[in-house]
Structure 1
Amino acid sequence: MRLRSHYIVLAISIVVPVAVFGGIALHILQDTQHSSAIGRIEQSATLTARAIDADIYRAQSVLKVLGHSHALARGELARFYVEAREASAAPGGWIILYDTNGQQLINTRLPYGTALPRRADPEQVTAMLASGKGQVSGIKWGAALKNHFVIVEQPIQTATGQGYAIGQAFSPAFFAHSFAGGTLPPGWRVAILDRAGVIIARSENADKFVGVTVRPATLAVINKKRSGVFTHPSGDGNDVVDAFTRSERSGWSIIIGAPLAEIDAAVWRGVPVMGAGLVIALIAALTLAMVAGRHLVRFVARASQAAALLGQGGEVNALARSGIHELESLNEAIREASKRLQAEMRSRSDAENERNALLVSEKTARARAEEQNAAKDEFLAMLGHELRNPLSAVASAVSILDNGRNIDDAMAQRARDVLRRQTDHLRKLVDDLLEVNRALMGKLELDKAPVDLAEVLQRCVDTLKASGRTAAFTVRLDTVPATVNADPTRLLQVIDNLLDNAIKYSPGGGEIVLSVRHVGDAAELSVRDAGLGIPADLLPHVFDIFVQGKQSLQRAHGGLGIGLSLVRRLVELHGGFVRIDSEGSGKGSTATVTLPRLAGHAAVAPDAPAAPSARLRRVLLVEDNADAREMMSMLLQLRSCEVVSAASGPEAIATALAVQPELAFIDIGLPDMDGYAVARALKADERTAGIELIALTGYGSEKDRTLALDAGFARHFTKPIRLDDLDLALS
């Protein structure tokens, strides 16, 4: 039997099973496509439900934020009306505020001061306040609105104990955006139902069907389970496949329907194409087998000759190409073997060169690791020096104050001044380390607003003058108003670091020139000093972290070398850039910050801190560190506070119930029961829910602030608390 006959038999033995199983595969594919089409409807319903949940969650978040409004707590409804209009969660929505009797106090759909009605179900307000849980209504008819609406409501209680219900109302058309935009096929229909089965929104004939209850049969199906698929005849007599799911937050149901005929048509459209492809593939396979059989004998003969030549050590220069992939792979293997034999000596030489290169690379990596290790040791030594210096001064000042009657008032005042300066210095070191770490990890967050760059610069200079830092310098300002979109706190941090460097590296005093000017569409701030200047070799690296100029063992200039790194990161986050120029050692330096300027925007003036009242306050202090608890108690007593303290969470809750303080300073890092749990427990008990809670902690990231506010804290301060912040809390 010839080789060609073997190939024919082989082709037939392949074609017949392929044809049989191909038919089976087409049937399975048809079922799979049908299931896929149904799955697409279910997925569309789920995505629509998630979009609705996201809208409701956004509305609930807005209501919770408004619940913490200071204007509402003070009863300033006009100001709260403005805040509510600005905070509305969606276009076309409006905010309604109810008192405990269901009387509308504010309705942002109407002008402030308009006479407002009392809601028809005031008992719902009482129920929400009692349970502490909000609700999402079904569709309602607004007589004054002359239209349907739904409302997301949340109970709130102010720091004074006053209870309200606040709601975000929406027209039904708002929820149509979840299925608008042409993302669904034209024949599909979408409907959103409330818990009673009343249509809230619909993709077709919304004016006709909104507010209408669906058929009892449909309502019975969707009430049995959370999601599913069912088929039913439509009004025009065609069968429709409906997929439904229920919203987690609102309890509403979303139904998406597609004509069954359209689904089946989409499935059958692909079957003929796939069937034709299978037939063509079978014919092609049979033809290829016959052609391959004709060429195989000749190819095997040529391959045998080439293999014999290769075994004799000869070089195979060329082989006739084959149209069959497997045979061409054999050709390639023969050619590759020839190349490897010819290149064996060359490969050995290349391996030797590579080994030498690896040795050089290893030496380079080792040298770099040693440099990094040295940099680490230098930074740790520098950090130890920077921490020991203020700690030494603090310890000496404490020893002086311990002498009591052996020191006069002037000496005691100087010791206290040293304590204040050095603790501020330690706080700045820790803050700089934490800030630069957050900057390098990309976790800094900005609270931007239009501010006047010149005004911020003036505030920073006034602070330095008040502290006596600029006594040995002539500070000259040359500024023009320049409004930028910036975080005022971070902007003060940038300017303070630049001014601190100008003062630190100008030991002989002299003139410091500060300017703010317009450069095209940008605002440019510059700080120029006549101090030590920057050597040319150091200038390209001044923004690298931990980089400083050479210093003696006395380290007269101090610092950790991270200020300018932080400055650059903060400026870049504001969309600007910073540069440092210097003509060399002894010739001073100039720092220039360039920020995008806002044209036609008025700068926002900072709020003035409130002055603390002189009346006696009852304050609860929760702190597990005995020394910190004692010192903070004394500081509060000096501010006319009656202080009771606790060292743990359970003790704090018991003390709060017994003493009923107005204000509570609570540490977060408490043993067994953290400060967040304490705050939630106090807010959950109506006997202690009215206590103003202040978080005083060493955890100071934006995430920590958010967690504190969510737990019920009114304010969040990091340790050690500044006196201005303490007065603000007490006010």
Structure 2
Amino acid sequence: MPKSGSLRGGPESSDLQSDAMERPGAQRLDLGKTRRIALPPGMAMRPQRIRTYLVLFALALSLPLLCVSVFGLYRMASTEESQTDNRLVAFAKNLAVDVDKELDRAMVTLEALANSSELSSGDLRGFHKLALTAFKPKKAAIALLDKSYRQLVDTLSDYGAPLPATADPATAKRVIETGRPQISGVFKGSINGLYVFNVEIPVFDAERQVQYVLIMSFQASYISDILKQIHYPPGWISGVTDQNGIILARSDRPEEYVGTPLPTELFERTAKAGDHVYRAFNVAGLPILRSTARSKHAGWYVSLGAPLSFVEAPRWRSFAIGAAALGTAVVLGWALAYYFGLLMARPLDEATRIAKSISRSQIIKPATTSLVEANILVATLVKASADLRSQTDHSTYLMRELAHRAKNQLAVVKGMAVQTARRSPDVSQFIAQFDRRIQGLAQSQDVLLRQNWRGAWLFDLVRAHLEIFGISDRVRLEGPNLLLNAAAVQNLGFALHELATNAVKHGALSVTTGEILIRSSWLGEGAVLSWIETGGPAAHDPSQKGFGYRVITELVPRALNGSAQLEFADSGIRWRQDIPSPNILSGDIHDR
């Protein structure tokens, strides 16, 4: 055995043999802790009545359905808007086709007149008479120009009467230059002073040269009348704009707008729109949804506009229906939730009353309510009241036992301090040794806490004391695991601490090759605990027996009413401790 270390010290102290080494007589009081139920992040809120939660629950159920309904209504409104767009485009295209049909009729009539014998023979009087007889539209006239743009015939005047110069020489010039039919924009006629447009074709001589320009001149109101005959949804307005952006016809109040130019921005959007539907402001300044198509013959812009209020009506209708449904669901859900909340709150109020009675230590009688959960709660509270009364009595006993146990622990600490101080040469060594022994005592207490001071498992005690030194990987445990009583745990903890301290400083664990075997054996009337060091330096019986030596050879065996043997072998210390059966809790013996 080494001459210095934890097994070396002064004479034994009777202080350590006080009743502090006796078995504790009572369990530790286990006080419950109040646990606050945590809510997910962002959901913290003050406690509320159950009626409030039921109202919120009703809203939680109804809102998804309402959202789906509103979304469906919104989709229906979008579908209606898409259908409106398609109708606008189709109407505009059909209007353009109708306008082109009228222009086709005019050109067919002009072609027939151009091939008449009167015109071929130069009989202009006869041609004038033929034109009046063959063509009698209310808002159109036939005119004939020569290559110098001089009017030769005009059915609006008698033959031979003086005729003014044509008001639209530009279109006649294109006819002469191209030799193809041309259609003018809108302008004021030179005879009637009304807004008109011309359909003009060339008349060729025998050598296929343009000899005349044959014109059918229509009043602009002719096209407006066509537009008015078509039935539109309320508020829809159609119109025709010529190539120069001048309004040629309109289905609504044409007398106010024909001959006036479209606003520049609107005309630019009209020219670029193609078949697309777009939002704009019409000439009256009203917001509209507009679609435009081009005339194939004239290049005019045939447009159709729908008031924006008409287009957006389905969407607003959906919003109104959704709002009404939401309001109805909220009110109905709140009313039903409040009603059912009353049914649920009354049993819970009864449970609350019973809980308050418990706090006043009153006798609680079981009660039955209309809510199953409340009945379970009431029954639990009644049982808790009885258990609380029993625990209160037991707590009083435990408090007295705790005071006794504290006195024992203080006695143990005092004994350790006295014995350590007697063999310590200076204060620093005393502090170091005393601190380690206090740590060992604390480890034993922690192991006891795991079993509520009833006792502890032997190998749990061994591991707890070896973990302080970080040597558990070089220790091997064999044999059955024993459930020791509190006194045995505390006393064996003293011995294990002293043995481990010596092994680390001077024994098997002071070299890298050393190991320790801790073996337990059950002998029927008790058990044996062995500490066997191997692979370490040779151990020698110390000339001076320290406090640690006394602990493992005398004090612990005496406290356990058993015997101990300590051998000093070539490979290290061997220690054997008998543990009589009173130190082992009956029936708590298991293999490790």
- Bucket of the pairwise TM-score, normalised by the shorter protein: 0.3 to 0.5
TM-score normalised to the size of structure 2? Answer: 0.41
Select the structure with the greater relative contact order (CA < 8 A; seq sep ≥ 6). Answer: 2
TM-score normalised to the size of structure 1? Answer: 0.33
Greater Cα radius of gyration, structure 1 or 2:
2
